[in-house]
């Protein structure tokens, strides 16, 4: 299960083209004639397109929702056609906007004109044939991923032997047999091989589309959505990662030692990258699945068995979602509309293929909000539904803004909201809602709790940064198709300190084994979200009057904190993000120091534990297996 799952249709400014801003060709109008009121007045033009986009919201989002919740050739066709119509409208409207001088517009209209160009994550070339091809490519790649199954050799015609991502992920989470883990990892990574040619063509077409909008390439366009120059944004991401890298390095060193004890130093050698399939997660992006039996520092101390409580108390998916709603309403947020409960998909259907990645959807720019998640009664899924609910409440907070401002201050804000709330799911909060007993604080209990959280959040940070770093280099031509897989593994080794468990070649397309690549969802938002959530948490805890250690704070039930939170959410994307950030934190700069504050106990403990260890890692040949193939 992936905590930072794709949020299709959650953030209107950065969604897959086929599910993107909610408009259709019916909204197309002629370019404003010279001398017309619209041509003379950019404010009138912005008002018109806001109205058209809002009125035409239903079709594209409905098509995207149906394709994600009912995958077949018909829904793929309908979604592709809807995306094609939107891109025709988008290209035409952007072309119309070029006649306006932003300096002659009001402040809000000038911002709207800028945001208009950033309204899709993959703009199409201004050519009907290429536009159609692009929508077909994106729809096909997403469907390949959603339908993907690994069928072992000799299983042809035996569908019972084929396994989807959920089933293979279960093996990675629960098995501790090295060869079995390797087979599951390698099996899923066969699913993405057929995407490679489609992805190459997608890059060409999406770059051409970005260039028609005045951007150097698609990556430069994505980085322009953060109210700073693309180059400055790259530097900002590097600065933030530099603040937290020492904590990741300490966690990596500790984890390698524990994994070496489990699997043997011949498979997990000191000073080398760790085999990628040993972390309990298909992408080694979060390590919480190996916490209890491998990473836990003090066995059985403050073991909060939320899974058992959920099972014993007969929590079903709806009750888990209601628990999340109750947290937000305790802050003074409104109750969810009844349509949320009627229209959301909270369980995996048995009769059809769906995209199970958790996502929140804003269907109509108003109160039709939904969540798509295949919930099971487990602690991780409980955290995910609390996270997804953050998107939903962001939607509801900014629903009264003009359409082009109905998004987050920047992409990272949207992802950070729910995770900020998850930080308040402390042992004390879980005790309050009767999911754990009373917890006696001790140094050992604190270290266990922080290790468990670090296995989720700190382990993610390098992965969160590298995905778009790879794509930026693909989009600007630094990485050529002949080196897609080679450079992918170079970055994964450089940042995560991992290596593939089996040999990789350019016949593979391992980037495509992660949803956000075929789904074309920008990923730096998740990295920024993991930084911002701690910065938000610290500010909200200060607003609530909390005076103890940051990791002990829960804002549950504190309406003063909720008021500050809601005021920030209501701003949407109407102002540059530093202004919106300042509303809550009092600062105009993103700051990862709150992570160091939060994990101060664990960071000190790791320094003690890692003394005398061969920390760090030497790079291995980029696509070679981390260890010799297991023969057992």
Contact status, residue 217 vs residue 207, Cβ threshold 8 Å:
yes
From the list 332, 305, 306, 338, the residue with the least C-alpha distance to 320 is 306
Could you give the C-alpha distances from 481 to 190, 197, 292, 471, 477, in angstroms and in order? 18, 9, 40, 11, 9
- Concerning whether 387 is annotated as a catalytic residue, the answer is yes
Task: Provide the 3-class DSSP secondary structure of residue 241.
Answer: helix
Task: Provide the 3-class DSSP secondary structure of residue 371.
Answer: strand
Strand pairing class (274-275; 359-362): unpaired
Report the interhelical angle of 317-330 vs 379-397 (nearest 10°).
50
Task: Provide the 3-class DSSP secondary structure of residue 358.
Answer: coil
Q: Biggest alpha carbon distance in the chain?
A: 78
- Concerning whether 516 is annotated as a catalytic residue, the answer is yes
From the list 541, 544, 525, 524, the residue with the least C-alpha distance to 594 is 541
Given 252, 277, 357, 414, the catalytic residue:
357
Q: Distance between CA atoms of 608 and 218, rounded to whole angstroms?
A: 45
Would you call 127 exposed, middle or buried from its count of C-beta atoms within 10 A (0-12, 13-18, 19+)?
middle
Residue 265 DSSP symbol? T
For 214, left (φ over 0), alpha (ψ -120 to 50), or beta? left
Given 88, 184, 358, 626, the catalytic residue:
358
For residue 341, the tally of other CB atoms under 10 A from its CB is: 14
Given 277, 387, 537, 551, the catalytic residue:
387
Q: Distance between CA atoms of 603 and 586, rounded to whole angstroms?
A: 27
Would you call 151 exposed, middle or buried from its count of C-beta atoms within 10 A (0-12, 13-18, 19+)?
middle
Given 59, 325, 388, 490, the catalytic residue:
388
Tokens found for residue 581? 């950030």
Q: Distance between CA atoms of 566 and 553, rounded to whole angstroms?
A: 19
Task: Provide the 3-class DSSP secondary structure of residue 309.
Answer: helix
Residue carrying the six token digits 């293979």: 168
- Concerning whether 59 is annotated as a catalytic residue, the answer is no
Given 516, 537, 546, 551, the catalytic residue:
516
From the list 342, 258, 354, 260, the residue with the least C-alpha distance to 297 is 258
Q: Distance between CA atoms of 372 and 264, rounded to whole angstroms?
A: 41
Non-local (6+) Cβ contacts of 519 within 8 A are 6, 8, 16, 141, 142, 145
- Concerning whether 358 is annotated as a catalytic residue, the answer is yes
Given 59, 96, 208, 415, the catalytic residue:
415
Residue carrying the six token digits 């070496």: 260
- Concerning whether 526 is annotated as a catalytic residue, the answer is yes
Backbone torsions φ then ψ of 456, nearest 5 degrees: -95, -55
Given 189, 252, 362, 391, the catalytic residue:
391
From the list 376, 385, 357, the residue with the least C-alpha distance to 148 is 357
Handedness of CA 546, 549, 550, 555 (dihedral sign): negative
Given 199, 241, 526, 598, the catalytic residue:
526
Strand pairing class (498-499; 359-362): unpaired
- Concerning whether 415 is annotated as a catalytic residue, the answer is yes
Task: Provide the 3-class DSSP secondary structure of residue 9.
Answer: coil
Residue carrying the six token digits 């190459």: 200
Give me the active site residues, please. Answer: 357-358, 387-388, 391, 415, 516, 526
């Amino acid at each position: 299960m992936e905590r930072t799952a794709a949020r299709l249709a959650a953030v209107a400014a950065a969604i897959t083209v086929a599910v993107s801003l909610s408009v259709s060709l019916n909204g197309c109008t002629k370019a404003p004639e010279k001398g017309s009121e619209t041509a003379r007045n950019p404010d009138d033009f912005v008002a018109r397109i806001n109205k058209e986009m809002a009125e035409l919201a239903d079709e594209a989002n409905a098509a995207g929702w149906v394709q994600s919740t009912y995958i077949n050739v018909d829904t793929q066709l309908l979604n592709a056609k809807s995306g094609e119509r939107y891109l025709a409208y988008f290209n035409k409207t952007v072309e119309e906007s070029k006649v306006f001088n932003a300096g002659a517009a009001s402040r809000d209209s000038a911002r709207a004109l800028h945001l208009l160009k950033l309204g899709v994550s993959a703009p199409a070339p201004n050519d009907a044939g290429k536009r159609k091809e692009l929508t077909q490519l994106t729809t096909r790649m997403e469907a390949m991923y959603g339908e993907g199954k690994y069928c072992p050799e000799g299983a042809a015609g035996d569908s019972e032997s084929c396994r989807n991502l959920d089933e293979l992920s279960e093996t990675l989470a629960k098995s501790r047999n090295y060869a079995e883990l390797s087979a599951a990892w390698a099996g899923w990574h066969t699913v993405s091989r057929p995407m490679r040619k489609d992805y190459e063509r997608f890059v060409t077409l999406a770059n051409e589309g970005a260039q028609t909008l005045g951007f150097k390439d698609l990556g430069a366009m994505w980085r322009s959505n953060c109210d700073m120059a693309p180059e400055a944004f790259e530097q900002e991401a590097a600065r933030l990662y530099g603040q937290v890298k020492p904590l990741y390095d300490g966690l990596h060193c500790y984890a390698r030692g524990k994994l070496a004890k489990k699997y043997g130093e011949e498979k997990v050698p000191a000073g080398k990258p760790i085999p990628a399939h040993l972390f309990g997660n298909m992408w080694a992006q979060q390590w919480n699945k190996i916490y209890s039996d491998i990473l836990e520092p003090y066995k059985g101390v403050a073991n909060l068995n939320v899974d058992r409580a959920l099972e014993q108390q007969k929590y079903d998916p709806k009750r888990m979602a209601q628990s999340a709603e109750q947290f937000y309403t305790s802050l003074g947020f409104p109750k969810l509309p009844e349509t949320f409960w009627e229209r959301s998909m909270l369980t995996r259907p048995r009769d059809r293929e769906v995209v199970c990645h958790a996502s929140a959807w804003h269907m109509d720019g108003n109160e039709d909000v939904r969540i798509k998640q295949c919930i099971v009664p487990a602690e991780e899924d409980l955290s995910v539904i609390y996270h997804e609910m953050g998107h939903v409440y962001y939607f509801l907070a900014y629903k009264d803004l003009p359409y082009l401002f109905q998004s987050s201050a920047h992409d990272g804000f949207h992802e950070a909201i729910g995770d900020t709330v998850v930080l308040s799911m402390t042992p004390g909060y879980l005790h309050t809602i009767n999911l754990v007993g009373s917890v006696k604080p001790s140094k050992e209990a604190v270290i266990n709790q922080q290790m468990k959280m670090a296995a989720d959040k700190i382990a993610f940070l390098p992965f969160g940064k590298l995905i778009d770093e790879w794509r930026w280099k693909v989009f600007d031509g630094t990485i050529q198709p002949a080196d897609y897989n080679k450079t992918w593994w170079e970055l994964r080794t450089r940042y995560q300190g991992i290596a593939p468990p089996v040999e990789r070649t350019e016949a593979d397309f391992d980037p495509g084994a992660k949803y956000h690549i075929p789904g074309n969802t920008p990923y730096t938002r998740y990295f920024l979200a993991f930084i911002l959530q701690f910065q938000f948490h610290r500010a909200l805890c200060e607003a609530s009057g909390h005076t103890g250690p940051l990791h002990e704070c829960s804002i549950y039930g504190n309406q003063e904190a909720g008021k500050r939170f809601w005021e920030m959410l209501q701003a949407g994307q109407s102002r540059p993000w530093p202004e919106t950030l300042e509303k809550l934190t009092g600062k105009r700069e993103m700051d990862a120091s709150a992570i160091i504050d939060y994990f101060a106990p664990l960071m000190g403990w790791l320094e003690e534990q890692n003394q005398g260890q061969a920390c760090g890692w030497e790079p291995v040949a980029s696509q070679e297996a981390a260890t010799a193939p297991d023969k057992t």
